[in-house]
């Protein structure tokens, strides 16, 4: 079973001005496509060939882990956006965020601070552990909380290719504006699973 190259549920210019068409064309069109192709090349004829992407990430190491982890993280990242965003979380996720962080505003501040403080390339995750508790985690390179038995609710890419064409070295500006395009219905679904 091949690892699929996801189809975006929006046009390449739909997230502007937060993420421009040019960035989507490079980030989704080139970076993610390369990770998908490389993962498919690496699994051919191996024990990983018929595994789900999640199982590959849980069990692989080296180049396969790096490429498959990037595919998984990028899939989660790109599929959590919508052109107008949906404002703030609602339902069970809203309650859990308030209980964990005190308020949505405190959560966004802590999340942005985690993204700003991550040295080098990586990801910032809102994760749910096996007991349903939320926390913010930072991951370097292709790390994903699935390897520790946790579920990703929300993830923001802080590799430079995610924001450099639009924000240059202003990672903080990117992190502050990305809330405008979050699909909180998608985050809620991930939280409830």
pLDDT digits (tens, 9 = 90+) for 42-94: 999 999 999 999 999 999 999 999 999 999 999 999 999 999 887 899 899 99
Residues 154 and 112 in one domain: yes
Residue range of the domain that includes 34? 21-78
Distance in angstroms (rounded) separating the CA atoms of residues 130 and 171? 31
Residues 152 and 181 in one domain: yes
Residues 155 and 63 in one domain: no
Residues 178 and 117 in one domain: yes
Residues 70 and 107 in one domain: no
Which distant-in-sequence residues (6+ apart) come within 8 Å of 120 by Cβ?
140
Is 3 a domain residue?
A: no
Residues 128 and 169 in one domain: yes
Residues of 113-128 as b/e, b for ≥16 C-beta within 10 angstroms? ebbeebeeebbbbbbb
The phi, psi pair for 159, rounded to 5°, reads -70, 145
Q: What is the mean pLDDT of residues 138-142?
A: 93
Residue 1 has pLDDT above 90, yes or no: no
Among 50, 78, 106, give the residue marking a domain's end. 78
Label residue 2 by pLDDT band (50, 70, 90). Answer: confident
Residues 66 and 114 in one domain: no
**Three-state secondary structure call for residue 176:** helix
Sheet holding 122-128, edge to edge: 134-140, 122-128, 151-157
pLDDT for res 120: 87
pLDDT for res 110: 98
Is 9 a domain residue?
A: no
Distance in angstroms (rounded) separating the CA atoms of residues 18 and 126? 20
Is 84 a domain residue?
A: no
Alpha helices in 20-61 (DSSP H): 21-26, 33-43, 53-59
Q: Which residue has the higher pLDDT, 84 or 138?
A: 138
**Is 31 flagged in the annotation as binding?**
no
DSSP, res 153: E
Alpha-carbon torsion (13, 18, 22, 26), positive or negative:
negative
pLDDT for res 38: 97
């Amino acid at each position: 079973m091949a690892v699929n190259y996801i189809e975006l549920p929006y046009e390449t210019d739909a997230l502007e001005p937060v993420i421009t068409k040019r960035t989507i064309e490079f980030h989704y069109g080139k970076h993610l496509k390369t990770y998908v192709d490389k993962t498919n090349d690496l699994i051919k004829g191996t024990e990983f060939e018929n595994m789900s992407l999640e199982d590959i990430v849980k069990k692989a190491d080296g180049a396969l882990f790096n490429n498959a982890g990037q595919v998984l993280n990028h899939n989660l990242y790109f599929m959590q956006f919508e052109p107008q965003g949906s404002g703030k979380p609602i339902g069970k996720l809203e309650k859990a965020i308030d209980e964990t962080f005190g308020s949505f505003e405190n959560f966004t501040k802590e999340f942005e601070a985690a993204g700003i403080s991550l040295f080098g390339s990586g990801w910032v995750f809102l994760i749910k552990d096996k007991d349903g508790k939320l926390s913010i985690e930072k991951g370097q390179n292709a790390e994903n909380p699935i390897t520790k038995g946790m579920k990703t609710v929300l993830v923001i890419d802080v590799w430079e290719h995610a924001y450099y064409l639009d924000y240059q070295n202003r990672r903080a500006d990117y992190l502050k504006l990305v809330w405008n395009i979050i699909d909180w219905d998608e985050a809620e679904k991930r939280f409830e699973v």
